[in-house]
Amino acid sequence: MKSNSILSDLRTAFSPLWGDAAGRGASITMALLLFFFAGCTQKGASIKGNLLNAEGEMVRLEHLSSTKSTTVDSAEVSSNGSFKLSTGEITEPGFYRLKIDENNFVILLLNDGESTTVSGNALDFYQSYQIEGSEGSATLRYLDERLRGDYNKTDSLRKTFQAYQQQGHPRLDSIAQAIDAVFQEMQEAKRQFVLAFIEDNSNSLVALSAVQSLDPAEDLGVYEEVAENLTATFPESDYVKKFKVQLVDIRSKQQAAGRTEIGAVAPEIVLKTPEGETIKLSDFKGKVTMIDFWASWCKPCRMENPNVVKVYNKYKSKGFEIFGVSLDQDGEKWVEAIAQDGLTWKHGSELKFWQSSFVSAYNLDGIPMTYLLDENGIIIAKGLRGEQLEQKLKEIFG
């Protein structure tokens, strides 16, 4: 679930693509590459390797695509730690995963004719590997090492804040402000590094990885520049084509975000109730209304529900309403959760999970998410939960 806390929004939740790699320290670089990888025909690059503590282990070389990884070669590590692999044909640079197992691997950017040497310790391949003979792979490793260091620093800040939070420190607000200030400085330093890196590598596919660590809301122009440069360099690259599709999606989401900013009229939502009747957001005009995006399978949503029930019972007599909008797929589980949690307000759903029409209309990328509307359907706040929600309703109703 998406966190609304700036200290925990460190862009590290990428492990679903590659198992537990993120938990082992994998950075934004490695986790975001897979999104763009689409298959291509290849000519040839060779890999010689030497691994400590790997005698008898099988190493595999996989070509990465947008939907799967395909093994192109494999070899058993000899008693002296050596192995040899080949990509097969390469017509343009491609991304590959050299792995010992699902949680122990490195990512390479290989080009035609390269003779690459990889060395490291199999007990911690990702942290220890060194590479020679592949300019793209070496540059990728440099970028990843820097971003991994940034991640470790911000993760340390997050853990520090959590420790103070668990202690119930009396000056938690001022501590949060101080930690947030450091966090912002780190983020800006990282941004400046990435901008310089992209400029230095504007005609390399490593720019695709680097740009993903930038916020498109702030640096959409950089995304567009990367797309333009790489299209000129690799006009037939499926990686670049995939990135351009992503860029179209980013622009679309930014347009949607503009429609759901504070002060805008909330987009209409038309759904079916658990009883099969039609319910619309416009039906709630005349009352202060909170759209509560949730689902029965969303644990943070279910944990937040008691707080929502409390404020609803407190303010419903004063003109407060809630429109529960569910991302469920299973109608029975949806209805069961409504009953279990005592959600006595009105509900609607398309039962289409993240394919629901309101997901794009409200630019949803995580739940729980709330939008608070005035009597005219104007958005006056969003993302309110717990005490923040209660305080806002207190301001409105007294």
CATH code for the domain in which residue 93 is found:
2.60.40.1120
Is residue 88 included in any domain, yes or no?
A: yes
Query: Which residues lie closer than 8 Å to 5 by C-beta, 6 or more apart?
Result: none
Is residue 9 included in any domain, yes or no?
A: no
Predicted pLDDT of residue 166: 84
**For the ranges 111-120, 169-178, 246-255, the one whose mean pLDDT is highest:** 111-120
Predicted pLDDT of residue 360: 86
Query: Residue 10: pLDDT above 50?
Result: no
Predicted pLDDT of residue 244: 93
Is residue 265 included in any domain, yes or no?
A: no
Is residue 3 included in any domain, yes or no?
A: no
In angstroms, the Cα distances linking 129 to 24, 105, 133, 359 are: 14, 9, 14, 41
Residue 97 — very low, low, confident or very high, per pLDDT cuts 50/70/90? very high
Report the alpha-carbon distance of residue 317 to residue 62 in Å, rounded.
61
Report the alpha-carbon distance of residue 231 to residue 226 in Å, rounded.
8
Do 151 and 113 lie in one domain? The reply is no
Residue 37 — very low, low, confident or very high, per pLDDT cuts 50/70/90? very low
Is residue 175 included in any domain, yes or no?
A: yes
Is residue 79 included in any domain, yes or no?
A: yes
Predicted pLDDT of residue 67: 67
User: What average pLDDT does the segment 35-63 reach?
Assistant: 80
Do 341 and 280 lie in one domain? The reply is yes
Which residue range(s) make up the domain with 208? 141-259
* Last-in-domain residue among 94, 120, 138: 138
Query: Residue 29: pLDDT above 80?
Result: no
Predicted pLDDT of residue 66: 66
Do 322 and 357 lie in one domain? The reply is yes
Do 251 and 326 lie in one domain? The reply is no
Which tokens belong to 34? 């897979």
**For the ranges 7-21, 83-97, 253-267, the one whose mean pLDDT is highest:** 83-97
Report the alpha-carbon distance of residue 66 to residue 378 in Å, rounded.
40
What is the CATH classification number for the domain harbouring 370? 3.40.30.10
Over the stretch 124-161, which tens digit does the pLDDT of each residue have? 999 999 999 999 999 999 999 999 999 999 889 888 88
Do 113 and 148 lie in one domain? The reply is no
pTM of this prediction?
0.62
* Last-in-domain residue among 138, 158, 189: 138
Please say whether the beta carbons of 97 and 82 come within 8 A.
no
Domain count, the chain: 3
Residue 118's closest CA among 103, 144, 147, 138? Answer: 138
- Choose between 396 and 67: higher pLDDT: 396
Do 157 and 178 lie in one domain? The reply is yes
* Last-in-domain residue among 259, 287, 314: 259
Do 72 and 154 lie in one domain? The reply is no
Predicted pLDDT of residue 82: 97
Do 184 and 244 lie in one domain? The reply is yes
